[in-house]
Amino acid sequence: MPATIVVGTQWGDEGKGKFTDLLAKEMAMVVRYQGGHNAGHTLVVNGERFALQLVPSGVLYEHIVPVIGNGVVVDPFVLLKEMAMLESRGVDTSRIRVSGNAHLIMPYHQQLDALHERHLGKAKLGTTKRGIGPAYADKSMRLGIRVQDLLDEEIFRAKIDAALGHANKVLTKVFNRLPIDPVQLADRVLAECLEPLRPHISDSVNLIHEALEAGQNVLFEGAQATFLDLDHGTYPFVTSSNPIAGGACAGAGIGPKHIDSVLGIAKAYVTRVGAGPFPTELFDADGERMVEIGREFGTNTGRRRRPGWFDAVMLRHAVRLNSLTELAITKLDVLDSFDTVKLCVAYDIDGRRVEHLPYHQSELHRATPIYEEFPGWKTDLTAATEPSHLPRPAANYLRRLEEQVGVPVSLVSTGPGREQFIHWSASGTNAA
């Protein structure tokens, strides 16, 4: 157990927060390793709903040290606002640690994200406009500003100067906008963020290794998901970081040998926000029902998510990319009222049956799903907490899904609450 990674296996919003929170009981530390406040984790604890963007979900447990790793991009204003929200609801945030090597999202990143999207017109990516892409771009251009820079005023001001030297040219000459004053921006960030953040800024790599060396359990929490990965997702309709399990190594500072297990989270159907290919997408009443019953609207942005049937072809690829050791299926209850439930087992591409994800994206655009169809269970699953509580059609669907994906399903979620889940591995029917 010591190092476990939780990773989304589809296009995000799989409900990772719930299982991260569930596993958190056994963890001493929960580490975010990539992304920023483009993520949205909804947790329902004792009937109370918490929507988190940046702070690792383990914050709701007093015994956990929540760590924002070096691979994350941090909007300091958003982080402080989220911490204030948690404090106002009685959650202690003093244990939160932020890597000094994490990069800062500055207001110009956010502005540039929105301008780039507008500039792309019809070709827009549908980003969250949180400045994620421009902040990672600056990191790659070596123009980024790190959290640790806040601790040295001279360096911070010099770096803001250098970054704005570039960003202001883009703002004024490309987008015809007003330049941002570096002195004013540095003054504002230092005045509003430095002191409240100071106690949280830390050497996260050392912290994580100390915990691992002491035999403590550490959970690495991926944001977004496998097919939004910058390298392995449906580029360019992806985020600007590496959510796949391997991203935890770079984004937290651990070697691959430290990783003991990788839990993939998959929804019992699929959703995606923003543009990009989606072979099993539904445009019919079934899709509408998934959106309505599953409340498929962005936690932070409120955007409607595009719905579709479960895609085992994608999942098999996600197993490879992440070395998944087990799978958790979420939102099975959303399908409770469906007459039939479908599982995509292969694609038809130009008359050929294809069982693996085509590497060429044009083929993915042309792929039509080949489905297996199952009778629905037409039973309310929201009170099911044991494998034996599942009606046969629901159990059959899960078993077939497990066979198709080739990795054991260990957990099945049947509702948003902390206690609404089944230890499916206890059913003794796991595929592997």
Please state the closest distance from residue 46 (CB atom) to ligand IMP, in A.
25
Please state the closest distance from residue 38 (CB atom) to ligand IMP, in A.
4
Longest CA pairwise span in the chain (Å): 66
Please state the closest distance from residue 334 (CB atom) to ligand IMP, in A.
17
Residue among 35 and 182 whose Cβ is closer to ligand IMP:
35
Task: Give the up-direction half-sphere exposure of residue 429: CA atoms within 13 A in the CB hemisphere.
Answer: 16
Please state the closest distance from residue 226 (CB atom) to ligand IMP, in A.
12
Contact 337, 378 (CB under 8 A): yes
In 3D space, the residue among 80, 92, 23, 124 whose CA is nearest the CA of residue 328 turns out to be 23
Residues 268, 60: Cα–Cα separation, whole Å: 26
Please give the DSSP secondary-structure letter assigned to residue 252.
H
Residue among 20 and 239 whose Cβ is closer to ligand IMP:
239
Please give the DSSP secondary-structure letter assigned to residue 423.
E
- Report residue 62 as tokens: 């007093």
Which residue(s) pair with 72 in the sheet?
35
Contact 271, 296 (CB under 8 A): yes
Please state the closest distance from residue 228 (CB atom) to ligand IMP, in A.
5
Which residue's CB atom is positioned nearest to ligand IMP?
274
- Report residue 340 as tokens: 């039939």
Residues 73, 11: Cα–Cα separation, whole Å: 20
Residue among 40 and 417 whose Cβ is closer to ligand IMP:
40
Residue among 2 and 12 whose Cβ is closer to ligand IMP:
12
Measured from the Cβ of residue 52, the count of other Cβ atoms closer than 10 Å reads 24
Please state the closest distance from residue 165 (CB atom) to ligand IMP, in A.
24
Residues 244, 226: Cα–Cα separation, whole Å: 5
Cβ partners under 8 Å of residue 152, min gap 6: none
**Active-site residues: which are they?**
13, 41
Contact 9, 322 (CB under 8 A): yes
Residue among 69 and 182 whose Cβ is closer to ligand IMP:
69
Please give the DSSP secondary-structure letter assigned to residue 228.
G
Residue among 31 and 341 whose Cβ is closer to ligand IMP:
31
Which secondary structure element, helix H or strand E, spans residue 226, and what is its range?
A: none
How many residues would you count in the chain?
432
Please state the closest distance from residue 15 (CB atom) to ligand IMP, in A.
11
Residue among 128 and 226 whose Cβ is closer to ligand IMP:
128
Please state the closest distance from residue 121 (CB atom) to ligand IMP, in A.
16
Residues that bind ligand IMP (CB under 6 A): 12-13, 38-40, 125-128, 130, 132-133, 223-224, 228, 237, 239-240, 273-274
Q: What SS3 class is residue 271?
A: strand
Contact 413, 15 (CB under 8 A): yes
Query: What is the Cα 32 distance to its own chain's centre?
Result: 10
Contact 431, 405 (CB under 8 A): yes
Residue among 78 and 228 whose Cβ is closer to ligand IMP:
228
Cβ partners under 8 Å of residue 85, min gap 6: none
